[in-house]
């Protein structure tokens, strides 16, 4: 997949946490940010479904979106 360079403005404590996570895991800062965004957007779940599942793309997307919406609702 192609990568696109972008500029983000974030609070300094968030950037500091990204740098610490990158150093502790041996990953680049961009990779840490991308992984966090994938988790937040539910894309990591979608990737797992496509990797291991027998669902078609529409079914997998529907399941991923449902999981994303449920996770955003939080505890009742």
**Phi, psi of 21, rounded to the nearest 5 degrees:** -60, -40
- 9 φψ region: left (φ > 0), alpha (ψ -120 to 50), beta (else): beta
Residues 7-35 have pLDDT tens digits of: 999 999 999 999 999 999 999 999 999 99
Are residues 19 and 29 in contact, defined by beta-carbon separation less than 8 angstroms? yes
Question: pTM, whole model, 2 decimals?
Answer: 0.59
Task: List CB contacts of 54: < 8 A, sequence separation 6 or more.
Answer: none
Question: Tell me, what's the pLDDT at 75?
Answer: 58
Residues 6 or more apart whose Cβ sits within 8 Å of residue 38: 44, 47
Instruction: Measure CA 12 to chain center.
Output: 21
């Amino acid at each position: 997949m192609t990568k696109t360079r972008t500029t983000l403005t974030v609070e300094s404590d968030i950037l500091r946490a990204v740098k610490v996570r990158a150093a502790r895991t041996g990953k680049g800062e961009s990779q840490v940010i991308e992984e966090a965004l994938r988790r937040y957007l539910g894309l990591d779940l979608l990737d797992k479904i496509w990797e291991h599942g027998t669902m078609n793309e529409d079914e997998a997307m529907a399941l991923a979106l449902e999981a994303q919406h449920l996770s955003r609702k939080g505890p009742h």
